[in-house]
Amino acid sequence: MTDKPFNIDLGRLKTREKDRSAQAVEKTDRAGEELGFVAREPQKKRGRKPSPRTGQVHAKVMPGISEEIANEARRRGVQQGVIIEEAWKLYKNKSGI
Amino acid sequence: MPTVVIASPKGGAGKSTTAVLLGTELAHAGANVVMLDCDPNQSLTLWADRGPLPDRISVLSSVSESDIVKTIKRHDTDGQIVIVDLEGVASRLVSRAISQADLVITPMRATTLDATIGVRALQLISEEEEALDRKIPHAVVFTMTKAIKSKQHTGIAGSLAEQGVDLINPPLMERASFSALFEFGGDLHTMPAQGNMEGAIENAAQFAQAVYQRLAGEMG
């Protein structure tokens, strides 16, 4: 037995033309599905991702602060936005904006 | 350059071992080989991490259903043989990879269970040929065979041959060195001796040569 039992002639190795269009992939998927070869990879979660800061989907502030603002607004009988507007006014005065 | 897809929905049929033996022997014979690891168990990646990769081989890990077609496209035209190792389940990833193959090899242990499940890959190829209006060459290789063929082996081989299935000769025998590839990495030529190395190397080389002959159009 020699160290290299056979040689490869790279010139003889050809790739065949393959259809890689979306339609061809769809046909392939359909043919596979009929025999039970179905999508098995976990699908990506749809919708908006939680905020990396608050961990919530729609939160603008941390959960504890959100609750405090809601309680104060309820006590005064105003919308939460009023509290935020007042806070913004205080911030502007403090910062000289 | 051609794309060889190793496919069987049966786990434990020897897909990754077949992929590594084929890739390393083709590289040893002078071909550039890129191996795509599409198995979530990452057997090829485990092999690649075990030791230095042999010359002319590269391994790409974690190729998924959504990027298999474009990954094969990127690699099958630039002077290298692409070998795709698939997961042992019936999945969309398998059907998409087969659609891009120049040769599909279905490894199969010579048991009724392996043959029954492995035949589903052959059915899928046939369906895809019809859907895509393209011939997809395919062959079966028996794996983990013994020196003396069992009646089951002879029966299954006869049945497949009757149905016109291309059987790769020689089969891949059960060899300590084949399974040790995943312990030492590298190839049969560099690994510490495990059992009958000369016989193992000859078996792997003859198998790779039989595959090469199919890729080069030397078969029928």
Query: Minimal CA–CA distance to B216: which of B127, B102, B115, B120?
Result: B102
A33 touches chain B (CB under 8 A): yes
pLDDT at A10 over 90: no
Contact B31 A10 (CB under 8 A): yes
Q: Which domain holds residue B157?
A: 3-215
pLDDT at A75 over 90: yes
Q: How confident is the model at residue A1 (pLDDT cuts 50, 70, 90)?
A: very low
Q: Does any CB of chain B come closer than 8 Å to the CB of residue A95?
A: no
Chain B partners of A33 at a C-beta cutoff of 8 Å? 92
User: Residues of B numbered 79-118 whose beta carbons fall under 8 angstroms of chain A's beta carbons: which are they?
Assistant: 79, 81, 89-96, 98-100, 102
* pLDDT tens column, B13-64: 999 999 999 999 999 999 999 999 999 899 999 999 999 999 999 999 989 9
Say what the pLDDT of residue A12 is. Answer: 82
The conformation of residue A96, written as its DSSP 8-state character, comes to T
Q: CATH no. for residue B199? A: 3.40.50.300
Q: What is the pLDDT of residues B136-153, one digit of tens each?
A: 999 999 999 998 989 999
Does the distance separating the beta carbons of A8 and B31 come in below 8 Å? yes
When the pLDDT of each residue in chain B is averaged and rounded to a whole number, the result is: 93
Mean pLDDT of A11-33: 88
DSSP string, A41-58: SPPPPPSPPPPTTTS-SS
What does the pLDDT read at residue B71? 94
Residues contacting B186, CB < 8 A, separation 6+: B24, B50, B51, B52, B53, B54
pLDDT at A3: 61
| CB spacing of A38 vs B91 below 8 angstroms | yes
What mean pLDDT is predicted for residues B77-87? 87
Q: Total structural domains in chain B?
A: 1
pLDDT of A15 above 70: yes
B125 against A19, higher pLDDT: B125
Q: Is the pLDDT of residue A71 over 80?
A: yes
Quick check: A51 pLDDT over 90?
Answer: no
Q: Which residue spans within chain B are E strands per DSSP?
A: 3-6, 33-37, 57-60, 81-85, 103-109, 138-143
**Cβ neighbours of A13 (radius 10 Å):** 19
Kindly state whether A93 is in contact with chain B, defined as any CB-CB distance less than 8 angstroms: no
Going from the C-alpha of B217 to that of each of A13, B72, B211, B212, the distances in angstroms are: 8, 21, 10, 8
Q: pTM of the prediction?
A: 0.81
Across A23-27, A41-45, B200-204, least confident range: A41-45
Say whether A41 and B64 touch across the interface (CB within 8 A). Answer: yes
Q: Say yes or no to pLDDT of A47 above 80.
A: yes
Q: Is there a domain that residue B116 lies in?
A: yes
Note whether A7 contacts B95, CB cutoff 8 Å: no
- How deeply is B67 buried, as exposed, middle or buried, from its count of CB atoms within 10 A (0-12, 13-18, 19+)? middle
Residue B40 lies in a domain: yes
CB contact residues (below 8 A), chain B span 172-191, against chain A: 189
